[in-house]
Structure 1
Amino acid sequence: MAKVQGLPARTAALRMLDAVLRRGETLDLAERSAAKGLTPSDRALARAIAGESLRWLRDLDAMIDGATQQILPDDAKPRMVLRMMLAQWLRLDTPPHAVIATGLELLTGGPRRLAHGVFSALVKQGVALPVAPTLPPEVVARWGERAGAIATALAALPPLDLAIKDWSQTEHWVAELGGTSLAPGHVRLARGSAVERLAGFEAGAWWVQDIAASLPARLLGTGEGRRVLDLCAAPGGKTLQLAAAGWQVTAVDKSAKRLDRLVDNLDRTGLSAEVVAADALTWEPGCTYDAILLDAPCTATGTARRHPDVLHRIHAAQIAEMAELQAAILVRAAQWLAPGGMLVYATCSLEPEEGEAQAVQCPLPPAPVTAAELPAGLQPTAEGWVRTDPAMLPDAGGLDGFFIARFRAAG
């Protein structure tokens, strides 16, 4: 029997969904396992199917439940496959006949007939997704009054942001790459650009980094040869920023595998840093630093645009666990700051427990951020902190959710 074209990508997408929803894995981790051996195009398709299924999960489930009287458990294979089929039709513009040809191959017997009947009925009805994804009630409760605006922002896939190594070349790269810029050292491109094929990649002129993720390092300014500690540094975008800004960087992360990617980017860009594989909770630096950047481990709910799995696998227990870890690392990091030195604490989380609550408990005096230090359209909070979310800068394409606070040691 001939192999159905496109089936490997759908099989991988199904495995990703199962790993995220049933086992609580991250979508990135699930992709590495499920998409092993796929061509780049099939891998990208599998990721897109799984990602859109997760982004619109509650809306897809409502459609499925409205088209059948049969009770399908949340983790039932027919429901998983139907989610994927609907996501392909409604979000990836795959023709229904192609959806059926590949989707039904993932099922046998009665489940196949059920999926065929439900999908065909929904196509005949001409169903459509709402303007914004419906968020899980727990997420709405956590995000409060911003939840609706954030949900609307999640409907659109994010653009591609690049951080430029030499800020004086920003205008050159905007013109060369056909992008726009929200700040010096930043270029934004339309989604879908093949990163490795873009001008400047091989030469190491830039690296991929969301504009929000670039803010913490920007708030430390230029290094002029001074020493900075980049804690929890992998995969390394902030390390590259700091090195390019003239800092003498020590980059610490407990994942040696993730540090390999950091080292690769240092090699590609021609930048340098001392790279240390160590746990920030047990590592002892043996010196103090003029600046410390702590981009702490977190639930990463601010990255929901690219990682919609966080909408479904992050709950109160994970948030509490991360908050405890963040507090412990922050207390240790504060002790390693030289007199008068600056510490920036950041998380790519939308949860107050991982942001504002940590800043209040920091033992160092605050060094408030000013509006002049931020891209146009962003404002610091009354406390001098930075809080971004995906609904901000809508006309420019949005940005990830981050919390950032800055402190200065006495001295």
Structure 2
Amino acid sequence: MPAAKAAPVEGLAARRAALRLLDAVLRRGESLDQAMSGAVKGIGRGDDRALVLAIISETLRRLPDLDALIDSATQRPLPDDAKARSVLRIALVQALVLGTPQHAAISTALPLVVGGPRRLVHGVFGTLMRKQAKLPDVPALPQTVADRWQAAWGPEMVEAAARAIAAPPPLDLTLKQGEDAASWADRLGGQTLAPNHVRLPRGSELTSLPGFDEGQWWVQDIAASLPARLMGDGAGRPVLDLCAAPGGKTMQLAAAGWDVTALDQSAKRLGRLSENLARTGLTATMVTADALDFTPDRAFDAVLLDAPCTATGIFRRHPDVLHRIGARDIAERAELQAALLDRAAQAVKPGGVLVYAVCSLEPEEGEEQARAFLSRHAGFITDAIGSDELPDGIAAGEHGWLRTLPTMLADQGRMDGFFVARFRRTD
């Protein structure tokens, strides 16, 4: 009689998907957004997909500390890319961070190393559980990232970034122009830190909140809302929003009365923007094109370039950037940004403004980019950002540019890292 087939392990598919995602990020350098759809293919239940994202996100937040625990329980360090190390990372983060029972964490881990060092994985996990191993309250940043940011911003910023990575960020909403932020904060159970802004605790169920169906607000980190805020009231004047999707800034500009042309090279992402405009009752002209090839038929009073970047400033919600972005990536993005800035400058009419923004913590993409732009374009000057244009606790730097860091708004849940410069055309 043939042997009975082993019963499938409940929850194994989610752990396999998490392992595939970890490999995609650490070995192939893919972003979570890029790799997610392929990794969870075949997982139909929403709660299982949510579990996959929770496992991989917390693993990436705690990776150096997880590795330190694993190394403390082995005679010789496992290779960084060893499957056993990755499986142990996933099992440990469930038991130590997500509250998964130990037996469930290890029973769903061992099938991932079939034909491999199951005894090693079981032994290391068991040793750490018997020692009542814990992860530190403040995670360690990857050493290369800590060194890079300390050189740029100092030890206080590195400490703040480590504290910020410990948990996903709060949820920021941008309200349509003219809405009473204090009243909406009361209705939604949050706080307001700026005009047209409400901050909610993480985990709020968006679609069931008051005002969602009516399009009274959209999700947008407070740092991401600053570039469009610095454009002021539109009064019907034309503005070009380059690299516009998914569209938070487009909606801000439309709500502020600008005549918006929103350009992006991704038709799919512009489709999402179209849906958001329909929900909020706002309007914009959408153009599918590469910003480097686009030649507008008119000049604009204002151009907003929220340029493609390394996204290291949004590491709290995208912890994969801590492990896949290096010097080469930063240099490649900086080269593209310079080309986009040169192209954007051509669309600004005399006397008009160009706002440049990146969600990056790298000076090469921010301050150095602004200096290089001014050196190439004698017809542009810095239009200094004033303190009266910014929320309390946020200030522009000595050059009149804005640099936000995780040290800011520490008592209110912190904020993403951004760089914003506003230039005015004089010729």
TM over 0.5: yes
1:105 aligns with 2:116: no
Which residue pairs with 2:301 in the alignment? 290
Q: Which residue in the other structure is 1:329 paired with?
A: 340
Question: Residue 148 of structure 1: CA displacement?
Answer: 2.4
Change (3 A) 1:282 1:379: same
Q: 2:288 aligns with which of 277, 280, 284?
A: 277
User: In the alignment, what sits opposite 1:124?
Assistant: 130
Q: Among residues 381, 384, 388, which one is paired with 1:372 in the alignment?
A: 388
Tell me the SS of whatever aligns to 1:132: coil
Separation in structure 2 between the aligned mates of residue 289 and residue 90 of structure 1, nearest angstrom: 54
In 1, distance between residues paired with 2:220 and 2:234?
A: 20
- Measured after TM superposition, the shift of residue 128 of structure 1 is 1.6
- What's the counterpart of residue 158 of structure 2? 147
Q: Identity over aligned residues, as a percent? A: 61
Structural mapping, 1:380-395, within 5 Å: 380-395=396-411
Residues 314-361 of structure 1: CA deviation (Å, up to 9, x unaligned) = 010010000011011101111211121111100000000000011112
Partner residue in 1 for 2:144: 138
Q: Residues 50-78 of structure 1: CA distance to partner in whole angstroms, max 9, x if unpaired? A: 01111111111111111112442222211
Moved more, 309-318 or 249-258: 249-258
Matching residue within 48, 55, 58 for 1:52: 58
The corresponding residue for 1:299 is 310
Amino acid paired to 1:190: P
Q: Does 1:24 align with 2:29?
A: yes
Cα root mean square deviation, aligned: 1.4
Q: Does residue 266 in structure 1 map to residue 271 in structure 2?
A: no
Measured in 2, the distance between the counterparts of 1:131 and 1:160 equals 22
Match of 1:166 in 2: 177
* SS of corresponding position for 2:211: coil
Offset at 1:173?
A: 1.8
CA shift at 1:98, angstroms? 1.9
- The count of aligned residue pairs is 411
Give the Cα separation in 2 of the matches to 1:318 and 1:242: 30
* Greater CA drift, 366-375 or 149-158: 149-158
* Residue pair 1:166, 1:205 contacting (<8 A) in 2 also: no
For 2:240, the equivalent position in structure 1 comes to 229
1:323, 1:370 → 2: CA distance? 26
Larger deviation: 9-18 or 301-310? 9-18
Contact 1:55–1:133 (Cα < 8 Å) also in 2: yes
Give the equivalent residue in structure 1 for 2:3. none
Q: Residue 190 of structure 2 is aligned with which of 159, 179, 182? A: 179
Q: For structure 2, list consecutive stretches of 5 or more residues without a partner in the other structure.
A: 1-5
Displacement of 1:161: 0.8
Amino acid at match of 1:21: L
Matched, 1:351 2:324: no
Partners of 1:259 and 1:353 in 2: CA distance: 29
Matched residues in 2 for 1:172 and 1:394: separation?
24
CA distance in 2, matches of 1:176, 1:227: 34
Distance 2:25 2:301 in 1: 41
Name the CA shift for 1:3/1:230 in 2 (closer, same or farther; >3 Å): same
Q: Distance in 2 between matches of 1:128 and 1:157?
A: 20
| Shift in alpha-carbon separation, 1:173–1:302, aligned structure 2, 3 A | same
**Structure 1: any 5+ residue segments left out of the alignment?**
none
Tell me the distance in 2 between the aligned counterparts of 1:410 and 1:361. 17
Give the stretch that moved more between structures: 68-77 or 367-376: 68-77
1:168 alignment partner, SS class: coil
The Cα shift of 1:11 comes to: 1.6
Structure 2 Cα separation of the partners of residues 229 and 2 of structure 1: 58
1:66 aligns with 2:72: yes
Aligned to 2:423, the other structure's residue is in SS state: strand
> What TM-score results when the alignment is normalised by the length of structure 1?
0.97
Partner of 1:308: 319
Matched, 1:85 2:96: no
Q: Distance in 1 between matches of 2:38 and 2:207?
A: 23
Residues 1:404 and 2:423 are matched in the alignment: no
* In structure 2, distance between residues paired with 1:400 and 1:318: 20
